Every structure is written in structure tokens, then in C-alpha cells.
Structure 1
Amino acid sequence: MRFKQEVSPVLELMFRVLVGLYSLVSYLPYLLMRSSDSESLSECSRRVKARSVSAHPEGPYRDMSALKTLSMCMQPEVNTLDRVFEASVRRYPEHDCLGTRELLSEEDERQEDGRVFKKVILGEYRWMSYDQVYREAREFGSGLTALGQKPLTNVTIFCETRAEWIIAALACFINNFPLVTLYSTLGGPAIVHGLNEAEVSHIITSKELLKTKLKDILLEVPRLCHIIVVDDKLDGGSVYARGISVHSMSAVQRVGAQPENASRQVQPPCASDIAVIMYTSGSTGIPKGVMISHSNIIAGITGMSERIPNLGKGDAYIGYLPLAHVLELSAELVCLAHGCRIGYSSAQTLADQSTKIKKGSKGDCSILQPSLMAAVPEIMDRIYKNVMLKVEQMSVFQRTLFLLAYNYKMEQLAMGYNTPLCDRFVFRKVRALLGGRLRVLLSGGAPLSAATQRFMNICFCCPVGQGYGLTETCGAGTISQLWDYSTGRVGAPLVCCEIQLKDWTEGGYRSTDKPCPRGEILIGGPNVTMGYYKNKEKNCEDFFVGKKGQRWFCTGDIGEFHGDGCLKIIDRKKDLVKLQAGEYVSLGKVEAILKNCPLIDNICAYANSNESYVIGFVVPNQKQLLALAERRRVKGLWEELCNSPIIEEEVLKVITEVALTAQLERFEIPCKICLSTDAWTPETGLVTDAFKLKRKELKTHYQHDIERMYGAK
């Protein structure tokens, strides 16, 4: 993406002269300080990162340094997650480990439309040291044992992301309790399914989730005996339906600290024991439990760590994504293995402008100033659009300066150079939105658009490590090298795995394709998990063991390998629909392109094989849609605007223009759309916690509109 706008020739000349003088002055010291054997960013980007280890273009593809690096990183004696954390406790006993902001006050704030939002004022982060976290985890584990929890017997965490989640997880790892994770946004039937399938008797949750989600389904979970609530303000010993006991986490820890319980012999796990049964968010139906061993996770986090240079106790990570998601859990375990600080947050308190932060007070990023952060593309897309809206509202001089600096930095990055002058004077305020110290931003969960990735590189002055992985591979597969500023790719295979392409002739993808081999992505290695819990049929379908005894997972995603060994995700088997005339449409590709349209906050493309055209459901950007309505002199409330045929037609014109500019084929462009009055959030059940579309639920939700747009066929 390059901004095009008429600018004053005089202002552009002044800008060019200023940065030219700075470059001239700084270039000589740069040459003198640069060692003769060091590579520039452009030289690193051109380097071959991975290659096929066979003579065939389908692979398998492996990182150039895979065998050497993995053997250096993995220590035979540190082969379970409890030992990984114990090693960190020995190295950093007094160092800050987990931090939570103090709640100073909260109040209701009435909006102009009459709605009431709860706003909070938060204080500084309060920290627990590595030694304190370890002590609390041991006490909690001993307390669970005193309540009847047995080794190799499942225990569930159903809770929002917070320090207590990790403490409870560490307690399970230490005592060899397989940890069952459930998203806090799951609906009642999905929760019941997970708890009953895993046969849990103990569940760890929050006061809020107990009240809003668990209380109503307790009679449907006959094996459940104990509920442990992580909140402090709860009296232990409460009794619910069927005699289920409710305890506070602190009360369980006090029981575990008693001498007779603290001195009990712990049965440590083996590397092959199940560490986590992670239930997916169910984008294609009922959630599936993925069995992940200790050795699987250690291989995965070893591969991830290798792509993040200089990890250590000087780093601070902000944790706000669901810990029941493999991306967040893996990222936090990477941090705990390297002595980093983890400060907890939420999507509602992340930045100064977040929905729950009272105007004039500070969001979590401003206080923590993280150096490491993970994000899903949906969140980065929102940041990108919000900043661009503010740029449009700047004065002509400010906007021109921003666009000149943006395009100049893009040119410099392409040549492998940094732009410290622009970073300091132009992008400093944008960078401050996420604390100002960010040095690594890890993107996962879905492909990140090239426009958003370039924006994050430029405006937040830090590399974006775009990654690709699945729950079934411990979140590990690929991560782009931090010095690789190319866009639209997910990098080379991590050192813990290798990737092979499998021909998919129905979709027209083959490893013999030119110029790049293409096919379904298969991931093999020690990070590939043990399979689905109590689901042999699906295990046989998605997992297999290769000729050399290595375990492989069939992802269902379509990729292509570039000449330097980097992977690009280009399609998904389940997203490919054949239209009536025989053309194949990749719904994911259409959505990825159209989400760059400022009018669109989210979109789901839909096609029926019995029809000749694509339709779409759109969550419009409120500010952009209201501005469009004002230009077209259409008046009405928000719901009336979204249901207005005139506005619908105008939005479709904008979408079509964006699609044609991006060179979509005519048959790929939605011919009709439906505007949604409400955003799609995990709470609505229309997207997962990683904001992936739930196509089945979306189809059901918009069935009436589908019939309307297809002429009631």
C-alpha cells in the first residue's frame, strides 16, 4: 500500500531535503560502526530461509538451521512444562513474573443515546515474583489434591485471561493433572459437551462466569463436584445444586499450604503425558478437544523462541488474548521460559481509548509499555482503520507530513534501511498507542493483510512476525523472520517442524505448478499433537505417521512455497465454492481483500453452488457509513440506515471498486450484500475467540437474507 495524494511541491521538497541531510550526516557513522560481516536488512531478506530436503518441489521443506538449532535449544533434562518453569525460577527467583493492575474505582457513564457503559480507573501493576508464583502454584496443586483431584485425571479451567489462570495451569503441570481448557465465550451446550466428554470433577472459573454461564448448566454435568473460583471476594464452602462445593482459590491454597498437604509426594509428569486438552472454538461445528503432550508444547515453544531474538528478563509481554487459545498460551509459556514479565490486560482496557477506560486515565499499554505483544489480524485491522480515520481528520499540513513520511519510510524499508528521524518526530504518537517500547509484534490466528502488516511495520516502528500454526500443531508451523519485511507471507518452517505440500487436484493446486509449488499444507514434527480426544474417526482423517515414524497433520489450508523457502497461505479447502457456471471462488480470499475497505469492519462472503454469483454479509464501520449517508442525504437511525436499499447499493458500489482495484474476477465480487446492525463478537456466537468466522452459524443467522438475496430460491 502506498498513499497517493496531491501535496505541495514546496513541502515535499523541504521534507526531502531534511531527511536527505539527516541521511548524509548519519550514513558515515553507520558505515564505521557496521562490522564487515554484518548483513543489511535487504541482504537478510534475500537469504534462503528454508528448502526442500528431497529432490521434489512438494518437500518436505525445512529451516536451513533446523537440526543444529533444535539440538542446542532442547535440553534432555527439561522435558516437561513443570521443569521448564522450575528452571526459570532457579534463574530469576526475585524477578517480576505476573502483574495485574489495581482497580481504583469504577463508575457508570451515560452516553448521548441513553446507553450506560461501565468505566474503570486502574492503578499501577502489582507484581508477583517467579518464586512467589511457583510457591502459589504448588500450594494450589496440593489443595486440589486434598479436594480429591488425582494425577492423570482431567481438571478444567474455564476462565478469562488473568494471572490466576497461569498459576492454576502451572499447578496442573506440576501435579500431572491434564488441563482441559474451554473458551470463556462458549455457549452452554458447548461447555456441557466439553465438561462431560472430559469427565471432569473439578473446574476452575471466575465469579462472573459462574454466575452467567455455569450456574444454569450444573444439572447437566453429573460428574462435577468442586468449583474453584479465582476471585478473592468469595466465601469458601458454598454449596450449589447436587451438593457441588464452591471454594475460593485462596481457600484452596490455604488448604494446600497445611503441612500434611504440602508434604505429600507429587507424581511428576513424563514428557509423553497429556499436558493440555485444548477445546477448539468450534468454527466448523461442535468443539473438538486436542490432546497436547508436554513434549509437544516444549517443541512448539522452542521453535517460536528461536524466531524472537534476545528474549530475556528485560522484556515485558502484555497478555490479553484468551489463554484457552493456543497462540496466547504458547506465547506466555515462551515468556515464562525466558524470564520475561507478563502484565495482564483485556481488549476493553488495552489502550487509553479502550471502551472501559475512563477518559483521561491510562490504558494498560501506557502503563506496562510492553516490548512483546501477540495479536490476531482482526485487532490489528481495527488499529489500522482507527489510525487512518484520525489521519483523515488532521489538518492539511499534518496529513501531508504523515503521508510523505509514510511513503518515504516504505521506500527505505524496501531498501533495507531504518528511518529514525521519521520514527521520532512523525510516528512517535502512533507508537505510543501500544506503549512506545514494542519491539516484536506476533500475528497469528489468520492471515494478515499486506496493507495492515505494512502499516504496523511503519507506524509502530517494530517488525511483525506473521505466523501460521494450528491447535493441532501447538500453534507452531511458521513465523516470518523479524528482518523479513516482505508482506502477505507467513515465513519459513520453524526449527521444530517441517512442511510438505500435497496435491489437491480438485481445486487445481499441484506441487508442479509454476513458478511456485502449491498444495495442501501438511505439518510434521514433534510439535504435532496426539490427536483429538475420544474421536478416532477424525484422528484417522487428519493425522498420520510417515515412513520415518514422524507424526503429520493435514491442515486443510492451501499454500505455496516461494524461492526463498517462505510460505504463503493462498486458500482453504473448506472455503472453496464452485458456482453454477463452474468457476471456483475462494471465500477467504474475497474476504481478505474486501476487509481493506474503510467502510467494512467485517465481512462474510457466501456462495451457493446452485447460483451464479456471490453475496456477502457486512458489518459496516459506523463512522464511515454515517459519513456516506450524509453525503447521499439519507437520514435515519443506525438500524434504518443499515436496512436502507439506497445505502446498501452505495456500499456495494464502494466494495465493487475496491474489488476491481485488487483485481478480483467479476464472478468473485459480491453482487448483493446485507448490512448488519450489530458487530460480530465471540459473545454473539458468530465468530470464534480468535475472530474467525463461524460460517455455519452465520448462514443460520442470515438465512432470511440469503433467501432474499438469492430471490427466495
Structure 2
Amino acid sequence: MFEFLQRKAAIKQPVVDINSQSQATDEKHCRCSLLAKNDIVKTYDESVETCLDALYHGSKVTEGGDCIGYNDHFMGKYIWLSYNEVIWKAKYFGSGLVNIGCKPGNETFIAIYAINSVQWFIAQYGCYHYSMVVVPLYDTLGVNSCSFIVNEAKIECVIVDTQEKLHKLLNQRDEMPTLAKVICIDHDISDNIVKRANNKNVALFNFKQIEQMGKSSLQMIEPPKPSNLAMIMYTSGTTGVPKGVMLTHANFIAAASGLLLQVIPHISMKNQTLLSFLPMAHSYEQSVQTAFILGGGRIGFYSGDLKELTSDMKILKPTVLIVVPRILNKIYNKVIGEVIEGYGQTECCGPATASFPGDYSMGHVGPPLACCQVKLIDVPEMNCYADENGMGEVCIKGENVFIGYYKNSEKTSEVLDEDGWLHTGDIGMWTNGEYIAPEKIENIYCQSAYVAQCFVEGDSLK
């Protein structure tokens, strides 16, 4: 996370290393951050148990203030939709889905195959109004992976943003027998594509059509329960076919609450603006967006082209930016800001640890978020013994940990034990929160003008 500050000088270094303040638990080599009520946090506010609750809470605390916006290049400014406008548009869109045959409930999966946008957000919360499950497809996903996901999840309806993606789906239609409906955000659909869709027995709609249908015949909403699935996020991991990470509403609320309590408790979320460009198919982006709407912040979406990112930033003037190291390297020398490092993976909604604002010490990723515990276990084959050298496999347990891989109990049992611990496969060590990763060294070397690519290899036995 990258937070922009108004001041030119850095905040004064804390007197105490804040990252040493995580607490040991009764379990060996395990720590947590008990920031509230001396217990693992489930929610930032007792009235908020689902992602849909978070949206309504944001509307309440802002009194209907700005929620999401997009860059209008013609006007040279961001155009904003209020929380109330977003809620009604989401209701209309969700109702429209019901009107075209998508049944309300947690058994209905809706795929979104698009870049970040206002429509992506509205479609997501439209699904949540009717307890439907969102299955994000990365914008860059190949046709084979796309077909696999649609088939495994038996998806009938896919939302796309461009006619190019629509072409891809139609080209693979014979390999995706369940695909019956496609909604295109680009409303100017060519007659040729309409004809192709008809020939493939695919019902084709544009986004505005669905909204209008839902508005004309508004269906009774069916809000989700905390234990209901919010998303199935497919991740390829390192090998094999994509695995569907099942994340509940309670998972996302816990992760968002941990971020609100630990990363940005010192500022008013109502004064914060997030520039959203990390894919919304990424669990970290989803957790941060949930934190923003829960706290009443606003989210501005980038234009869709990373080459125009600096232009978007100049117009939006965001206070928070979620980045991966490669992007951060490009803007580091141009923007004075505070870097908050974190660690996690899709299986825990993205974040599991985060450094505190004001702590500029390097070589660590901060203590556990308040929603989870982190422990180390021995890995003898890698000479990692928590008692002897302080190193071990990082394991995570908490309200943000997923409930399993979709239709893959074998892989689930490999990473999620019977006590609820997620085994990440990563090696870490407790040295005031220090986590060692070759990528950190690579990123430093790659900042040199003489280095184009860099690979750092480590030997865990030395």
C-alpha cells in the first residue's frame, strides 16, 4: 500500500519499533495483534457482517457522499457517483440479472471478465444484493484458463467490457457448454457479433439494458449471510490448473477490518481517495476496496491504460494507491509518500500482515493484522527449525482465511489443516516482523539504470 502525504518531510521515526508490538499466543512461535477487545477481530463495526453491509455503512457515515468515480478525459476531471446512486444502480443491475434468469442465491455464479471500472463495481454489488457469487476473471487471462474456470464453476453468465473479449468467449463457446448469457459493458455492439452470438445460442445484452430491465421490474433483494460465498477467486499458484479460492463475506470483512484498525486508524477514511488499478480480480484490491467503502472513503478507477496512470493520478490526486513493487519502482522518485508493506496471499483475502504508518524500518512486512494469527512451523528438509534458527513455514489462522478450494478437497487439505491453519509454503522468521524474500533484493538492483532484469537465488541451507 502506498499512502501519499501532504507534508514534504517524513514523519518522525517512532521511539519504539512498532512492529515488535505483536503479542505471543499460547501456541508456540505464534503471534497476533490484539488491537480491540483483546480478541481476534471479526469486524470493524458490529453492524457490518457482509460486503453489502459495508456499502450501506459507507453511505451512512458519509451521508450519501462520493463513492466511486471515473476519469472523464473530455471534461478533464473525475466524475463521481454517490453512495446512494451506487446502491440504487447495484439494485437495478442485480434485479436485471434476476429478470434474465439468474436465480438469487449462493448457488448462482456470475463471472466478470473486465478491467477495473465503475461498471465492475456496480455489477459486483448488484450480485451481492441477491446473494450471488462473483467469479473474477483476470483481464489478461488466456482462453484455456478462462474455459476451465467457466466449466468448473458451471457459469452461465459472464460480464465483459470489450467486444474483443466477447469474441474470445464466442470462439470458445463449444468448449463452454454452460455459457448462455453474456453482458457487454461496451453498449455499441456490432451486428456481426450479435449474429455470431445468436448462432452460438448465447443471449447477448449490454450493461445499460440490464440496469433498465432491473429498474422497470425491481425484484425483492435477498442479502447474503456472513458465511455465504462472496467470491471464488481463481489462482494458478505455481503449478497445475487454476484453483478456485472460496472467500466468504466474513473473510473480506475481517481482512478489511484488520486494515482499518492497523494501517489507517489515524486518519479519517472520509477524506481518503483510492486510485484503483490493481486488478479487481486480485484479493488484496478487493480487501482494500471493502475497507474503503466500510470507512466511507471514495474509489477512483484508472482509465484502463497503465501508460496513462500518471495522468489519472494528477487529476484524481489519490491519497492511497495499492501497488506491486514493479509499479512502485516507477513512481518512487516522482512522488513523496509513505510506503506501507504487507504480506499475504489470495487464500487469506490478500493481506495477513502490514507495517504501521510511521515505521520506516526496512526488511520486514509488519505484524499480523488484528483479524488473524501468524505462526512458524518447522520444515526439516529446508533446515528450518523455529526453536533453533528462528525460521519456519508461515502459517495463518483467522477470520480472513478462506474456506477451501472450489471442487478440490485434495488441494484444500494440503494447505488448510484441521485446526484452521493456512500453510502458505513460504519461509519466514520472527525478527521483529522480518520476512526475507529475494524479490526485495531484485527490486533494489532493478532501480539501477544499468539493470534491465535481475534474478536473485537463495540457498536455504546456507
How far has the Cα of 1:334 moved from its partner?
Answer: 1.2
Are 2:326 and 1:378 aligned? Answer: yes
How far has the Cα of 1:497 moved from its partner?
Answer: 0.2
Shift of the 485–136 alpha-carbon distance from structure 1 to 2, 3 Å rule, reads: same
Query: Take 1:211 and 1:47, find their aligned partners in 2: how far apart are those partners?
Result: 48
How far has the Cα of 1:341 moved from its partner?
Answer: 1.6
Deviation string, structure 1 residues 96-150 (Cα, Å, up to 9, x no partner): 111111243xxxxxxxxxxxxxxxxx72111111111111000000000011111
Letter in 2 for 1:131: N
Q: Secondary structure at the match of 1:483?
A: coil
Query: Take 2:324 and 2:18, find their aligned partners in 1: how far apart are those partners?
Result: 27
Query: Take 1:251 and 1:218, find their aligned partners in 2: how far apart are those partners?
Result: 23
Are 2:445 and 1:603 aligned? Answer: no
Query: Take 1:164 and 1:282, find their aligned partners in 2: how far apart are those partners?
Result: 28
Query: Take 1:265 and 1:160, find their aligned partners in 2: how far apart are those partners?
Result: 29
Aligned to 2:203: 245
How far has the Cα of 1:89 moved from its partner?
Answer: 1.9
Shift of the 594–372 alpha-carbon distance from structure 1 to 2, 3 Å rule, reads: closer
1:477-556 equivalent positions in 2, closer than 5 A = 477-514=352-389, 517-546=390-419, 551-556=420-425
Q: Considering fraction of residues, name the structure with more helix.
A: 1
1:325-364 equivalent positions in 2, closer than 5 A = 325-345=282-302, 346-352=304-310, 363-364=311-312
Aligned to 1:99: 69
8 Å CA contact 1:67, 1:495 repeated in 2? no
Shift of the 95–77 alpha-carbon distance from structure 1 to 2, 3 Å rule, reads: closer
Query: Take 1:593 and 1:504, find their aligned partners in 2: how far apart are those partners?
Result: 29
2:264 pairs, out of 308, 316, 324, with 308
Query: Take 1:502 and 1:287, find their aligned partners in 2: how far apart are those partners?
Result: 27
Aligned to 1:30: none
TM-score normalised per structure 1: 0.59
Letter in 1 for 2:229: I
Q: Secondary structure at the match of 2:365?
A: coil
Q: Secondary structure at the match of 1:179?
A: strand
1:51 pairs, out of 23, 26, 32, with 23
Letter in 1 for 2:202: I
Aligned to 1:450: none
Query: Take 1:523 and 1:185, find their aligned partners in 2: how far apart are those partners?
Result: 29
Q: Secondary structure at the match of 2:101?
A: coil
Query: Take 2:364 and 2:351, find their aligned partners in 1: how far apart are those partners?
Result: 15
Larger-Rg structure: 1
Instruction: With a CA cutoff of 8 Å and minimum separation of 6, indicate the structure with the bigger relative contact order.
Output: 2
Query: Take 1:552 and 1:366, find their aligned partners in 2: how far apart are those partners?
Result: 43
2:13 pairs, out of 37, 41, 49, with 41
Query: Take 2:144 and 2:372, find their aligned partners in 1: how far apart are those partners?
Result: 36
Aligned to 1:445: none
Of the structure 1 ranges 327-336 and 155-164, higher mean CA displacement relative to structure 2 is found in 327-336
Letter in 2 for 1:530: I
Of the structure 1 ranges 320-329 and 86-95, higher mean CA displacement relative to structure 2 is found in 86-95
Are 2:433 and 1:570 aligned? Answer: no
Deviation string, structure 1 residues 188-225 (Cα, Å, up to 9, x no partner): 10000000001011111112442453232122111111
Query: Take 1:55 and 1:91, find their aligned partners in 2: how far apart are those partners?
Result: 39
8 Å CA contact 1:66, 1:496 repeated in 2? no
Q: Across the two proteins, how many residue pairs are aligned to each other?
A: 444
1:70-109 equivalent positions in 2, closer than 5 A = 73-104=43-74
Are 2:33 and 1:63 aligned? Answer: yes
What root-mean-square deviation, in Å, do the aligned CA atoms of Structure 1 and Structure 2 show? Answer: 2.7
1:39-438 equivalent positions in 2, closer than 5 A = 41-45=13-17, 48-54=20-26, 56=28, 58=29, 60-65=30-35, 67-68=37-38, 73-104=43-74, 123-150=76-103, 151-152=105-106, 153-211=108-166, 213-234=168-189, 238=194, 240=197, 241-258=199-216, 261-262=217-218, 264-306=219-261, 307-309=263-265, 310-345=267-302, 346-352=304-310, 363-384=311-332, 387=333, 430-431=334-335
8 Å CA contact 2:226, 2:250 repeated in 1? yes
8 Å CA contact 1:501, 1:518 repeated in 2? yes
Q: Secondary structure at the match of 2:77?
A: strand
Q: Secondary structure at the match of 2:421?
A: strand
1:621-660 equivalent positions in 2, closer than 5 A = none
Query: Take 2:81 and 2:366, find their aligned partners in 1: how far apart are those partners?
Result: 36
Shift of the 545–311 alpha-carbon distance from structure 1 to 2, 3 Å rule, reads: farther
8 Å CA contact 2:138, 2:279 repeated in 1? yes
Query: Take 2:338 and 2:121, find their aligned partners in 1: how far apart are those partners?
Result: 27
How far has the Cα of 1:305 moved from its partner?
Answer: 1.2
Deviation string, structure 1 residues 141-191 (Cα, Å, up to 9, x no partner): 000001111122111111111111111110111110011111010111000
8 Å CA contact 2:42, 2:253 repeated in 1? no
How far has the Cα of 1:281 moved from its partner?
Answer: 4.8
Aligned to 1:411: none
Query: Take 2:357 and 2:215, find their aligned partners in 1: how far apart are those partners?
Result: 45
Aligned to 2:4: none
How far has the Cα of 1:545 moved from its partner?
Answer: 2.9
Unaligned runs of 5+ in 2: 1-8
Of the structure 1 ranges 284-293 and 85-94, higher mean CA displacement relative to structure 2 is found in 85-94
Q: Secondary structure at the match of 2:76?
A: strand
How far has the Cα of 1:350 moved from its partner?
Answer: 4.2
Query: Take 2:18 and 2:51, find their aligned partners in 1: how far apart are those partners?
Result: 37
1:7-18 equivalent positions in 2, closer than 5 A = none
Query: Take 1:292 and 1:533, find their aligned partners in 2: how far apart are those partners?
Result: 10
How far has the Cα of 1:77 moved from its partner?
Answer: 3.5
Deviation string, structure 1 residues 389-427 (Cα, Å, up to 9, x no partner): xxxxxxxxxxxxxxxxxxxxxxxxxxxxxxxxxxxxxxx
Query: Take 2:153 and 2:31, find their aligned partners in 1: how far apart are those partners?
Result: 36
How far has the Cα of 1:284 moved from its partner?
Answer: 2.7
Of the structure 1 ranges 521-530 and 77-86, higher mean CA displacement relative to structure 2 is found in 77-86
Letter in 1 for 2:118: A
Aligned to 2:6: none
8 Å CA contact 1:51, 1:64 repeated in 2? yes
Aligned to 1:396: none
Query: Take 2:349 and 2:19, find their aligned partners in 1: how far apart are those partners?
Result: 27
TM-score normalised per structure 2: 0.89
8 Å CA contact 2:90, 2:125 repeated in 1? yes
Letter in 2 for 1:253: E
Shift of the 595–510 alpha-carbon distance from structure 1 to 2, 3 Å rule, reads: farther
Query: Take 1:143 and 1:275, find their aligned partners in 2: how far apart are those partners?
Result: 19
How far has the Cα of 1:40 moved from its partner?
Answer: 5.8
How far has the Cα of 1:588 moved from its partner?
Answer: 5.6
